[in-house]
Amino acid sequence: MKKKTFEEAFSELENLTSNMENENLELEKYLEYYKKANELITFCEKLLSNASQKITNIN
């Protein structure tokens, strides 16, 4: 499995949150989406932090 880009992860996160807001989900499905969303948020935050550090190092 290839590693996700920031854009792919963010798009997946947007889809998950939209589904959580707009669908009538059973609790187990909601918790599954919530867990995946948290993983994606952590992944995106890490990529943004790394990018910020690279920018700081350039300056």
Divide the 59 residues of the chain into consecutive groups of 10 and give the mean pLDDT of each group: 87 96 92 96 96 92
Q: Does 21 reside within a domain? A: yes
Q: Does 19 reside within a domain? A: yes
Name the domain count of the chain. Answer: 1
pTM, rounded to two decimals: 0.85
Q: Does 18 reside within a domain? A: yes
The confidence score (pLDDT) of residue 3 equals 87
Identify the domain containing residue 34 by its residue range: 6-54
Q: Does 47 reside within a domain? A: yes
Work out whether the CA dihedral 45, 50, 54, 57 comes out positive or negative: positive
The confidence score (pLDDT) of residue 11 equals 97
Q: Does 14 reside within a domain? A: yes
Q: Does 1 reside within a domain? A: no
Helix (H, G, I), strand (E, B) or coil at 28: helix
Q: Does 15 reside within a domain? A: yes
